[in-house]
Structure 1
Amino acid sequence: MAPRLFLVLLWAWFSFAPVHAQAWQCRTPAYVPRPALELPTSGEIRRSPVKGYTLALSWSPEQCRGRKHDPFMRYQCSGEIGEFGFVLHGLWPETNGPRYPQYCRTVGVLTREVVRSNMCVTPTPQLQQHEWAKHGTCMAKTPEAYFGAARLLFHAIQFPDMVRLSRQSERGTPLAAATIAEAFAELNEGLPVDAMRVKANKNGWLEEVRICLGLDFKPRKCPRRAKDTANSATVKVWRGTVKAAR
């Protein structure tokens, strides 16, 4: 798909969605390092037909727990460029079944300009390289088109007050995974609960919210997978230093 058409189609579907900035603001760094090259092994290359997409949103406080001084996570976790709530893990092409396409072609290292333009949604340069090499190469001809599409989708999402939700269990009512999905659905018209998967780690802490999209980039019902967190499962939300939404 041509990069311009790719973005126009996305904008058509999400132009009526209210854009909502997260309460904590990011300051794009003047200088960012270039990531390292990522090359797949021959066994990792899969060119399966694309049947839909997943927009993966990571809960940054959980990712950053105990990693404030990790140089790999410097920009996301140190507070140097801001405090993050949800960040963009990636936009992933899906197929029917588990063998989703990946590493569709070999690409070089992202330019600093591309990395810088995405630092306030995906504030880890090496993760950007990984997402482009593994997923973006199966969706777009250029990193600008791939990340541009991902940013449009990310900025179209209104985020619930996760601090308020995190305190629900402290008031004596367990927080279910379904409740987090419902909070997103209430704020985002056209995003049903069954188009989301809430992912918690083995200790029950929220890691990600994943939104399932069709080929038209409209939300669609997620296929259930064995490793998914059950809707009824109790989920804890690590707040870190994130402030409540305004």
Structure 2
Amino acid sequence: MFHSRLHSFSRLVISLSLSLVVAAGLAAFAGDARAQDKRQNAPGEFDFYVLALSWSPSFCEETAERGGRSHMQCGGRPYAFVVHGLWPQYENGFPEYCQRPAPRLNRNIVSSMLDLMPAPGLIFNEWDKHGTCSGLEGRSYFETIRKARAAIKIPAEYLDLSQAKTVAPAEVEEAFVKANPGLSNAAVSVTCNRTRLSEVRICLNKDLQFRACDELERRACRRDQVTMPPIRGG
């Protein structure tokens, strides 16, 4: 009898524990939902931009190592930093794919952007995922990308890199800060893979002025040193 009651009591405890776990999970889910920005994926409703500048030689070496097909930006033209994208951001998190399907992007716009974003696929993808969240129509969004890129001066030492260079992420940040009056370390960060520098990311407000952003630092490169492969043809 005692064992039977003990067994029943144990089952009750387990049942209550499971109920509490489920309730806690539901509460957490509800909390996450409340914490999610109320503007989630509403076009034009965001706090700032991130301009992502990709070090093209790193991208091309990684593509080759993965056995990927030849990419347009990995041909003969000596690309250095290219625009990966201009991304609307919240103070925490970011919107994406704010219109499905995305409004059709005029191919003349695509052609006009190839000097900064050297692949039609990249341009279409950035429009679908990020541009639709800007609240701008296609031409205005890509004009904004061009203005944002024009506002950034690339440090001289990275303009014509003819040999592989080993750098500290902080060193690259400092070079950009020094080359761009008004830019602070709180507004720029470097990303990397296991061995190479991948991108420099810069936070801008909607008027394309530099602004600090904690979100960037959470995704920054944590390695002491990384490599910048040389520019092709360098």
Q: How many residues align?
A: 187
Greater Rg over alpha carbons, structure: 2
In the TM superposition, what is the alpha-carbon distance from 1:233 to its structure 2 partner? 2.4
Give the Cα–Cα distance (whole angstroms) in 1 for the partners of residues 135 and 231 of structure 2: 35
1:103 matched to 2:97? The reply is yes
Q: 1:209 to 1:166 in 2, by over 3 A?
A: same
TM-score (structure 2 length as normaliser)? 0.72
1:220 matched to 2:211? The reply is yes
SS of the residue 1:184 aligns to: helix
Give the Cα–Cα distance (whole angstroms) in 2 for the partners of residues 234 and 77 of structure 1: 24
Which of 202, 211, 223 is matched with 1:211 structurally? 202
Which of 166, 169, 179 is matched with 1:177 structurally? 169
Instruction: Name structure 2 gaps, 5 residues minimum.
Output: 1-39
Counterparts in 2 of 1:144-163, with a 5 A limit? 144-160=139-155, 161-162=157-158, 163=161
Is the CA contact (8 Å cut-off) linking 2:91 and 2:213 kept in structure 1?
Answer: no
Identical columns (%): 34
Instruction: Name structure 1 gaps, 5 residues minimum.
Output: 1-44, 170-174
Q: Who is 1:42 aligned against?
A: none
Counterparts in 2 of 1:23-172, with a 5 A limit? 46-47=41-42, 49-65=45-61, 67=63, 73=71, 75-79=72-76, 82-98=77-93, 100-105=94-99, 106-160=101-155, 161-162=157-158, 163=161, 167=165, 169=166
Is the CA contact (8 Å cut-off) linking 2:41 and 2:95 kept in structure 1?
Answer: yes
Give the Cα–Cα distance (whole angstroms) in 2 for the partners of residues 165 and 192 of structure 1: 28
Supply the AA of the counterpart residue of 2:98: C
Q: 1:52 to 1:104 in 2, by over 3 A?
A: same
In the TM superposition, what is the alpha-carbon distance from 1:146 to its structure 2 partner? 0.4
Q: 1:218 to 1:84 in 2, by over 3 A?
A: same
Give the Cα–Cα distance (whole angstroms) in 2 for the partners of residues 85 and 212 of structure 1: 20
SS of the residue 1:212 aligns to: strand
More RCO (CA 8 Å, sep 6+): 1
RMSD of aligned Cα (Å): 2.4
